[in-house]
Amino acid sequence: MTSTQQRKRRKCVPSVRVATLIRGVILAGVLIFTAGASRSAAARQASSGEPDLSPYGILSNSVANLHLDGSTVWVGPFLNHSFDEGLTWYLPVTDSLFGTTNRLFSMDIDGDLIVAGLGRADASGGESVQTAAGFLVSEDGGRTFGYRYPQLDSPEADTETYGNSVLPALPVIVPQQSPPFDVAVDPTNGTIYVAGWASGLRRSSDAGRSWSRVVLPPDNLDHIAPDGSYSFSVEPRRGSNGSLNHMGFSVLVERSGRIWAGTAGGLNRSEDGGISWTKFKADGTSNSLTGDWIISIEEQPLGATGAVWMATWNTSESGGGTGQFGVTVTEDGGQTFRQTLLGERVYDFAFDGARVYVAGDGGLFHSDDGGRSWNSIQQFRDRLDPSRRLREDSDVFSVEHANGRLWVGTSDGLLLSRDNGLTWSLFRVDVPLRPDQPSTAVPSVDTYAYPNPFSPGGDGRIRIKFDAGTSDAATVRVFDFGMNRVRDWRAGYLSGASEVEWDGRDDRGIQVANGTYFYEVQVGSSRFRGKILVIE
């Protein structure tokens, strides 16, 4: 447990900004953190028992995963962590993440047990599919990690015994469409739960070495118990077969041991360790769930009891189910429900006593009255350098609070506030210019652009970094492959390490076509030149 007794997990919400989570940091067309460099780092870590210092801070500006454990903050998608509020960042002792296409999808910590769910985008079939890639599990507080295989079945696992019933079951034998969207550790016994979409809800009692199905009610039943007699099939919805409620999005184990499971078919609650379940569904009234797609569940500790908050998404976009974007809260274990933030696409929750923080497309929301009224923060600037700011179209993906520190993960960087959101420190990938000791991981360059390749529609803007030296007027020019000028503008007076932005449009405001472009930044008598690959 953390010092605040707050049970927190970080998950990768379904189909949201998958490209930003999968894309690595690219400099001059080459992955900075190369496979060779990462394996060398892992070897050094294994021999020394200590994590390696990251040469450029966090490894991705899109931060969909956060976890606070005391004074340590863990950040996805590369499991970077910091012990000193972001002054230095470290790489985990693992070779199953770096040098691969795997990324962090979910995370939970209970004492020395750390569970990280891995996933990736598989485009081998022509369409990008979110795919299970296994788990990283540490039983020594993150000093070392062991790899665990995905939560899949053998082809022979076509039945499931549930109390008095032997139920037919669909073996889930391929990792596609079974990413670990959420993981949770039961604080009472160390059991690990994973919500894995097509693989449903599963549990492990041996630190992820083996997994078993957790049977939830089918779509046509609101309650199941082992002393009943049933004949339904345990399988995800496939056309008219299977159940939406057997497709897992989220899972929470409260401090008391009560378990909540969010699916594509509703909200499920167990009071007996995941054996008997009661299902709740949206009924269109203000006293029920806002929707049946429950993509996030978090507990707000309040005294001996607490409130449970859940985010729902509009299911009309994908067919089936009922509901809308919004937030539902229960303060009595599911006896009653209350709706709030209707219409907002929400990803995550955090709590500071009675204060609630909500991360979503609309910014960072906070409420001091249980969600009956809200304030929002949509503009984020670095307190020491106001020119460093988040893009206006940035999404807020994740939020954590503990020990007076508020951390926020966005599509454009990581934020830390020590004063409840009044001021911010902004962290981004920080590749040094002209390093003292160049390497494969940190080459010697005097300018670079990121993210590169650049998608104007997906990324919004590309940043060009350079060292302007002493203060002087700056001019930026962009050329196409034939060296025809596409865009130029004055960037004002700049000095020292600086960044300028380009939105991927020409002088007429028209988005440029896919292809290779060249940039030139002139500051006084200094010129900085580089290349940008535009791929929409």
Digit-coded pLDDT (tens) for 167-200: 999 999 999 999 999 999 999 999 999 999 999 9
Q: What would the mean pLDDT of 372-391 be, rounded to a whole number?
A: 90
What percent of the chain is modeled with pLDDT above 70?
89
Report residue 460 CA to chain centroid gap. Answer: 19
Written as one string, the DSSP assignment of 222-273 is SEE-TTS-----B-B-BTTBSBGGGSEEEEEE-TTS-EEEEETTEEEEESSS
Looking at per-residue confidence, does 366 or 78 come out higher? 366
Judged by phi (left if over 0) then psi (alpha if -120 to 50, else beta), residue 177 lies in left
Note the pLDDT of residue 527.
Answer: 92
Note the pLDDT of residue 31.
Answer: 37
What percent of the chain is modeled with pLDDT above 90?
63
Looking at per-residue confidence, does 171 or 53 come out higher? 171
**Ranges 15-19, 99-103, 156-160, 478-482: which has the least confidence:** 15-19
Query: In this model, does residue 41 exceed pLDDT 50?
Result: no
Note the pLDDT of residue 13.
Answer: 54
Q: What would the mean pLDDT of 495-508 be, rounded to a whole number?
A: 90
Note the pLDDT of residue 441.
Answer: 65
Query: In this model, does residue 14 exceed pLDDT 70?
Result: no
pLDDT digits (tens, 9 = 90+) for 403-433: 999 999 998 899 999 999 999 999 988 877 7
Structure letter (DSSP) for residue 38: H
Q: What would the mean pLDDT of 275-282 be, rounded to a whole number?
A: 97
Q: Is the dihedral of CA 390, 395, 399, 404 positive or negative?
A: positive
Note the pLDDT of residue 96.
Answer: 79
Note the pLDDT of residue 43.
Answer: 43
The single residue listed with the structure tokens 């300028």 is 500
Note the pLDDT of residue 25.
Answer: 42
Query: In this model, does residue 380 exceed pLDDT 70?
Result: yes
Looking at per-residue confidence, does 100 or 204 come out higher? 204
Note the pLDDT of residue 18.
Answer: 39
Confidence of residue 521 (pLDDT cuts 50, 70, 90): very high
Confidence of residue 123 (pLDDT cuts 50, 70, 90): confident
Note the pLDDT of residue 21.
Answer: 41
**Ranges 210-219, 273-282, 389-398, 506-515: which has the least confidence:** 389-398
Looking at per-residue confidence, does 456 or 266 come out higher? 266
Query: In this model, does residue 318 exceed pLDDT 70?
Result: no
Q: What would the mean pLDDT of 385-408 be, rounded to a whole number?
A: 90
Note the pLDDT of residue 323.
Answer: 76
Residue 391's Cβ-side half-sphere holds a number of Cα atoms within 13 Å equal to: 23
Residue 389's Cβ-side half-sphere holds a number of Cα atoms within 13 Å equal to: 10
Q: What would the mean pLDDT of 66-87 be, rounded to a whole number?
A: 92
Judged by phi (left if over 0) then psi (alpha if -120 to 50, else beta), residue 77 lies in alpha
Confidence of residue 316 (pLDDT cuts 50, 70, 90): low
Query: In this model, does residue 3 exceed pLDDT 60?
Result: no
Q: Residue 526: what residue type?
A: S
The CA-atom distances, in angstroms, between 425 and each of 18, 422, 462 are: 26, 11, 21
Note the pLDDT of residue 322.
Answer: 62
Note the pLDDT of residue 450.
Answer: 81
pLDDT digits (tens, 9 = 90+) for 204-241: 999 999 999 999 999 999 999 999 999 999 999 988 88
Domains of the chain and CATH, by start: 1-148+394-445 (no CATH), 150-343 (no CATH), 454-534 (2.60.40.4070)
pLDDT digits (tens, 9 = 90+) for 301-315: 887 778 999 999 987
Note the pLDDT of residue 421.
Answer: 95
Query: In this model, does residue 28 exceed pLDDT 80?
Result: no
Tokens of 420: 């409840």
Kindly report the backbone phi and psi dihedral angles of residue 317, in degrees, each rounded to the nearest multiple of 5, phi listed first.
-70, -25
**Ranges 75-84, 125-134, 371-380: which has the least confidence:** 125-134
Instruction: Give the mean pLDDT of the chain.
Output: 87
pTM assigned to the model: 0.85
Distance CA 287, CA 267 (A): 14
Query: In this model, does residue 532 exceed pLDDT 60?
Result: yes
Note the pLDDT of residue 443.
Answer: 74
pLDDT digits (tens, 9 = 90+) for 441-461: 677 788 988 888 888 877 778
Q: Which residues pair with 262 in a beta bridge?
A: 250, 267
Note the pLDDT of residue 182.
Answer: 97
- Asked whether the bond before 451 is cis by omega within 30 degrees of 0, the reply is yes
Note the pLDDT of residue 387.
Answer: 77
The CA-atom distances, in angstroms, between 5 and each of 191, 237, 304, 350, 416 are: 18, 37, 11, 12, 21
Query: In this model, does residue 150 exceed pLDDT 60?
Result: yes
